Amino acid sequence: DAKTTQPTSMDCAEGRAANLPCNHSTISGNEYVYWYRQIHSQGPQYIIHGLKNNETNEMASLIITEDRKSSTLILPHATLRDTAVYYCIVSSSGAGSYQLTFGKGTKLSVIP
């Protein structure tokens, strides 16, 4: 699976949009981009995933560049409860793609 690069940490003011970038320049055609987050002392939580089109759900939006070499997770109105470590993961489809390789992620701090 392709490697991802994320900033170590970010701050965001409460109520503002949080934009978390991820670089995955070696992504291949059958690889999806997944985002998970981990709130302190809890297990990781799935947020969203996408292949090449932008995606939106009740939690967040995912913007993937046309060349698919980078993406941005957007939390439209960050709250204090969104403070967590956010992981960008690239994983291929097909048999054997079950492992999720979590890196260090981005520690997002939402500030009152």
Partner 1 sequence: GAGVSQSPSNKVTEKGKDVELRCDPISGHTALYWYRQSLGQGLEFLIYFQGNSAPDKSGLPSDRFSAERTGGSVSTLTIQRTQQEDSAVYLCASSLRTGTVGYNEQFFGPGTRLTVL
Which positions lie near partner 1, rule CB under 8 A?
30-32, 34, 41-46, 49, 51, 87, 91-105
Nearer to partner 1, 34 or 82 (CB): 34
Q: DSSP string covering 23-55, please?
A: E-TT--TTEEEEEEEE-TTS--EEEEEESSS-E
Report, in Å, the least distance between residue 56 CB and partner 1: 16
Report, in Å, the least distance between residue 79 CB and partner 1: 21
**91 secondary structure, DSSP code:** E
Contacts of 70 (CB under 8 A, 6+ apart): 21, 22, 23, 24, 25, 64
Nearer to partner 1, 66 or 95 (CB): 95
Report, in Å, the least distance between residue 95 CB and partner 1: 5
